[in-house]
């Protein structure tokens, strides 16, 4: 097991390297550049700017310079769009907010989604099942950009219970977290509820559960110990990418509730062709992602004794 973990960890390095390299060149292929705008810059002004950021050098040289800065100095460079900010500074300022919101939403969705899924599986084709699955289907079929504004319309504009937008450091404080966290949790709740319902049903029919029951174990023990553990697998393999997605922020939720998180700058940097900031985002996101997937693989081993790592 230990050997597997170490080997798996080492394989993250080439993965990251390939992602960085491919992204770097892809970004420069995309049409348009960071300094184009409705009013075109005079050529000599553009030349000055390109020179300032070493963008007048050949792409290969830029790539090596970038690798050198990132690997040796851990410096992601200056943002081309937000000229007074470094990419390191921007990401470290915005990332914690997204992580925090993401964690709250994830906890919410795992707890509620898991419970809803298990209850519907145990009460298959009863009203509890239909109710929670209907909520879940709404959760996945109504997009966030509808759920968010509708929640905002009801609770901020109509009932005036909550401020329209804000973040926990604003005057309104912690209550500002309620609407974005619920909105962000909704689709994840739905996914988890659906997935866990399905896998609990699956596990309930398997032979080892039948054996456990046959042995005369109490139903609560069977469910709590055997069913849940076996049923977690698909949920866990979904959670890897979901985790990476949820903590690196959602553009929709961050836009609708004006959360100064990393999700918004992720999308905007791509639209702005802010090369260094996109690269910084990609590196952050894929680091979280490959690590999350690594964790998932390790958790597999613990959850399911049938999996043997060779």
Partner 1 sequence: MKRVLIILFALMAVGGLVAQDFIMNNNTEPQSLDPSLIQGVPEHHIYMSLFEGLVINDPKTAHALPGVAEKWSTSPDGMTLTFNLRHNAKWSDGHPVTAQDFVYGWLRTLDPDTGAQYAYMIGMVVKGANDFNSFAPDKNKSDADNKAAKEALRAAVGVVAKDNYTLVVTLSSPAPYAIDMMAHYAFSPEPKWAIDKYGSEWIKPGKFIGDGPFVLKEWAPQDHIKVVKSNTYWDARNVHLKSITFLPIEDNKVAYNKFENGEIDWDYGVPLDLLDQIKLRADYQVAPEVGTYYFIFNTKRAPVDNVLVRKALSMAVDKKTLVDKITKGGQVVADTITPDMPPYKAPAGNPYNVAEAKKLLAQAGYPDGKGFPPLTIIYNTSDAHKKICEYVQAQWKDNLGIDVSLQNVEWKTFLAQRSQQHDFQVARAGWIGDYLDPQTFLDMFESDSGNNDGQYTNAKYDNLVKNDLKEKSPQREKTMAEAEKMLIHDDQAIMPIYFYVSQSMIDTRKWGGWFNNPLDIHNWKFIYKK
Partner 2 sequence: MATNAVNEFNQQVKPVSLWADAWKRLRKNRMSLFGLWVVGIYFLVALAAPILPLYDYTEQNLNHVNLPPSLKPAGVVAVAQEQKAIDQITDLVKNQGRADLQPNLDQKIAEMAQLQASLAADPTSNNVYIFGTDYLGRDMLSRVIYGGRISMMIGLVGTITAVLVGIIIGAIAGYAGGRLDNFLMRFVDIMYGLPYMLIVIILMSMVPQGTNSTVVLFVAIALVSWLTIARVVRGQIISLKNSEFVEAARSMGAGTGRIIFRHLLPNTLGVIIIFSTLQMPSFIMNESFLSFLGLGVSAPAASWGTLVSEGVQGMELYPWRLLVPAIAMTLFLFAMNFLGDGLRDALDPQSKNRA
Tell me: does residue 47 bind partner 1 (CB under 8 A).
yes
Tell me: does residue 96 bind partner 1 (CB under 8 A).
no
Where do runs of H (alpha helix) occur along the chain?
2-10, 12-29, 43-52, 59-67, 73, 87-122, 127-141, 144-152, 178-204, 207-214, 219-221, 228-247, 251-256, 262-272, 275-303
**16 and 70 Cβ atoms separated by less than 8 Å:** no
In the block, residue with structure tokens 């919410």: 108
Output the CA torsion sign for 31, 33, 36, 42.
Answer: negative
CA atoms within 13 A on the CB side of 162: 20
- Non-local CB neighbours of 291 within 8 Å, separated by 6+ positions: 12
Which residues lie near partner 2 (CB under 8 A)? 8, 11, 14-16, 18-19, 22-23, 26-27, 29-31, 125, 130, 133-134, 137-138, 140-143, 145-146, 149-150, 153, 157, 191, 194-195, 198-199, 201-202, 205-207, 233-234, 236-238, 240-241, 244, 267, 270-271, 278, 281-282, 285-286, 289-290, 293, 296, 300, 304, 306-308, 310
Q: What is each CA distance from 205 to 198, 215, 227, 303, in whole angstroms?
A: 11, 16, 10, 18
Report the residue number, 25 or 169, with the smaller CB distance to partner 2.
25
- What's the min distance (Å) between Cβ of 170 and partner 2? 25
- What's the min distance (Å) between Cβ of 289 and partner 1? 22
- What's the min distance (Å) between Cβ of 297 and partner 2? 8
**Span interacting with partner 1, options 84-92, 115-123, 220-228, 238-246, rule CB under 8 A:** 84-92
Which of partner 2, partner 1, none lies near 82, with the C-beta cut-off 5 to 8 A by kind?
Answer: partner 1
**106 and 185 Cβ atoms separated by less than 8 Å:** yes
- Which positions lie near partner 1, rule CB under 8 A? 30-33, 35-45, 47-49, 51-53, 81-85, 89-90, 93-94, 149, 152-153, 156-157, 160-167, 169, 171-173, 175, 255-258, 260-261, 264-265, 271-273
């Amino acid at each position: 097991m230990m050997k597997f973990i170490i080997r798996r960890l080492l394989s993250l390095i080439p993965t990251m390297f390939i992602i960085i390299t491919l992204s770097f060149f892809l970004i420069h292929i995309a049409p348009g550049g960071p300094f184009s705008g409705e009013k075109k810059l005079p050529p000599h002004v553009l030349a000055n700017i390109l020179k300032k950021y070493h963008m007048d050098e050949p792409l290969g040289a830029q790539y090596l310079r970038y690798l050198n800065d990132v690997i040796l100095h851990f410096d992601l460079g200056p943002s081309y769009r937000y000229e007074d900010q470094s990419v390191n500074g921007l990401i470290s300022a915005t990332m914690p907010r997204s992580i925090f919101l993401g964690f709250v939403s994830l906890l919410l969705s795992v707890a509620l989604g898991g419970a809803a899924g298990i209850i519907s599986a145990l009460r298959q084709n009863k009203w509890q099942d239909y109710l929670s699955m209907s909520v879940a289907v709404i959760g996945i079929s109504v997009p966030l950009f509808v759920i968010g504004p509708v929640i905002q319309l009801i609770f901020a504009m109509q009932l005036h219970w909550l401020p329209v937008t804000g973040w926990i450091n604003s005057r309104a404080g912690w209550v500002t977290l309620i609407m974005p966290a619920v909105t962000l949790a909704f689709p994840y709740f739905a996914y988890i509820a659906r997935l866990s319902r399905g896998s609990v049903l699956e596990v309930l029919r398997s032979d080892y559960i039948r054996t456990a029951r046959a042995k005369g174990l109490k139903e609560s023990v069977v469910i709590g110990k055997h069913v849940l553990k076996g049923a977690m697998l698909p949920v866990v393999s979904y959670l890897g990418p979901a985790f990476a997605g949820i903590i690196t922020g959602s553009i929709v939720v961050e836009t609708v509730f004006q959360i100064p998180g990393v999700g918004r700058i992720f999308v905007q940097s791509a639209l702005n062709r802010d090369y260094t900031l996109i690269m910084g985002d990609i590196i952050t996101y894929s680091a979280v992602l490959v690590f999350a997937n690594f964790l998932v693989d390790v958790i597999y081993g613990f959850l399911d004794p049938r999996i043997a790592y060779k």
